[in-house]
Structure 1
Amino acid sequence: MPDAADSSSCLCSCRPGRQSLRRLPRPDDFGCLENFQAETILYEWDRVEVLLSQEDQSRFDSIYELADDVRLHGYYGGVRLVKATIKVFVEYCRREGVALHDRNFAIRYTSNIPRQVGLAGSSAIIVATLRALMEFYGIEIPREVQPSLVLSVETGELGITAGLQDRVIQVYGGVVMMDFSRERTRCVQGYECGHYSRWMPRAFRRFTWPIRPTPASRPRSSTIAFASDSTLVTRRWCRP
């Protein structure tokens, strides 16, 4: 971390997990869980350095600790998400003719979003990283483009099966109406973008959903659809 005198140079970007009121994934799913979040911290440094977080440790006190770490966090940490986001950000700026300053940075992420339970923890890390990069370089990427840019990190760079829905809600926040009809979808800066609008009915302000994170017994890919979890949320919301 930088010295106290340099603390003003630190940038912190946070994005929450999300949950939906209907089955996953659908364009009309919406919601977020703000008590769980991914945080990216970026500060000026003498070289570009991606720091390991607790989820990316490779040194353990025993073989049992290693096994427990894999059970909790799976085989892939978040460093690959951060590195892929940086690569796509650089390529975006090159394509758009945006010049970046030559100052370097160190970056790290933390996340308390439960893993492998369908709360979009990976895309939260990517969105938080993208926001930190935008602030550090003073670059403004159109909001409607950001979800598609994030999606390209996951599908294009990392081969993760995903859709726009989670990325839209984490970029816009709150409750978002998403229209992916052909009539409303358009191409912006080479990215296909739907029509998104914030929506906050009065009833939603009173809606809360308690979650007790339980580690998966076996690490699973984020491509799995957790329909049963969404059904529980829907049932809770529709209950008189």
Structure 2
Amino acid sequence: MILRIQTYGRAGLLGNPSDGYYGKTIALALKAFPVTVTIYESPEIHIAPNVEDNSDYPSLEAMVQEIDRFGYYGGIRLVKATCRQFFKHCQEHGIAIPERNFTLRYQSTVPQLVGLGGSSAICTAAFKALLSFYEIKSIPLEIMPTLCWQAEDELGINCGMQDRVIQIYNGLVYMNFEEKFFTAHRHGRYERLDPALLPPLYLAYDPNRAEFSGNYHKKLRVLYDAKKQDLSAAMREFADIAEQGRQALLDRNHALLATLINANFDLRCRVLPVSEMNARMVYQARKSGASAKFTGSGGAIIGTYDSEEMYDNLQRDLEEIGCAVVKVTVATD
């Protein structure tokens, strides 16, 4: 039997980057950007390489250019690390894994390294595929994101929990990573919200601004440790924005939601370094009256718009600076 499992790129709507610092966030899964894992029984374990694992280049210059943009690593190491966490967890909790091997292939449509959760989408899709292939049903849903996060952490990838949560749960999720609860339970409090509560959303990204998000999170951790008092207060403020956003969604207060989206980015600019080219995307979008903030570490933005006329204007303005623009559909399957 051939199994095909999908997860999706994600957008942080509010609260990020406080998820890495016991904060609160709201995120959603992006239907436009699926990652598909295909898994089927085979005599030996085989993880098939994808374009992210490319080792063929037209020239030495082309190889160096790709390394400069995307680093040295592809997706195979992510799959391996996920497999290891899956196996170790089952072993430690007395969960029997049937004795059969598999071939696993992955294919990603998530734009690379622009803050849309491409790496974590590979991990979470692989984890879901292993669950289906081995018919394991005893791992609690809320623990699954933690195991995927541990796989990336093991590889030295600095990241918070948000991406893995939304890519395991799909849909629209409010997340509370309060430290005492998270430390005691190895997961946060995750609340599904109805995507129908959302106003119209757009997403824009520029592939030419690609940067390995782990670098951003590593720099953020160093900065946090150096200025802990100031940034701890900022992370609490990010978390409060997410909490207010949850209530705004429940109240269908779309005007407040737009204000909070803008406030999230403005706070980021006050307390964290933001590159001029990434910030330009936000300001270009705001020219039309739309709200805007980063979806993740930079390179992509998300926001609300009030009308088709506003969408047409922001699309024109963003395309002028090389961005692709799409209307957001939330993946709920």
TM range (shorter): 0.7 to 0.9
TM-score, length of structure 2 as denominator length:
0.61
Picking from 137, 140, 143, the partner of 2:141 is: 143
Q: Is the 8 A contact 1:11 1:41 kept in 2?
A: yes
Match of 2:11 in 1: 19
Structure 1 position 52 matched with structure 2 position 49: yes
Letter of the structure 1 residue corresponding to residue 8 of structure 2: P
Match of 1:220 in 2: 212
Q: Is the 8 A contact 1:11 1:136 kept in 2?
A: yes
Structure 1 position 178 matched with structure 2 position 178: no
Letter of the structure 1 residue corresponding to residue 208 of structure 2: P
Q: Is the 8 A contact 1:20 1:29 kept in 2?
A: yes
Q: Which runs of 4+ in 1 moved over 6 A?
A: none
Percentage of pairs with the same residue: 34
Letter of the structure 2 residue corresponding to residue 237 of structure 1: T
Q: Is the 8 A contact 2:144 2:168 kept in 1?
A: yes
Q: Is the 8 A contact 1:118 1:222 kept in 2?
A: no
TM-score, length of structure 1 as denominator length:
0.83
Letter of the structure 2 residue corresponding to residue 55 of structure 1: E
Match of 1:32 in 2: 29
Picking from 177, 187, 192, the partner of 1:198 is: 192
Match of 2:162 in 1: 165
Structure 1 position 110 matched with structure 2 position 107: yes
> What secondary structure, in the 3-state scheme, does the structure 2 residue paired with 1:236 have?
strand
Structure ID, larger Rg: 2
* Shift of residue 42, structure 1, vs aligned partner: 0.8
The structure in which a higher percent of residues are helix is: 2
> What secondary structure, in the 3-state scheme, does the structure 1 residue paired with 2:17 have?
coil
Match of 1:3 in 2: none
* Shift of residue 30, structure 1, vs aligned partner: 1.5
| Deviation sequence 1:15-41 (CA, Å, 0-9, x none) | 111112235223223222220122111
- The CA RMSD over aligned residues, in Å, is 2.6
Match of 2:203 in 1: 210
> What secondary structure, in the 3-state scheme, does the structure 2 residue paired with 1:193 have?
coil
5+ residue gaps, structure 2:
19-23, 218-264, 269-278, 283-291, 296-300, 308-333
> 2:182, 2:140 → 1: CA distance?
15
Q: Is the 8 A contact 1:17 1:36 kept in 2?
A: yes
* Shift of residue 48, structure 1, vs aligned partner: 0.5
Count of aligned positions: 226
5+ residue gaps, structure 1:
1-8
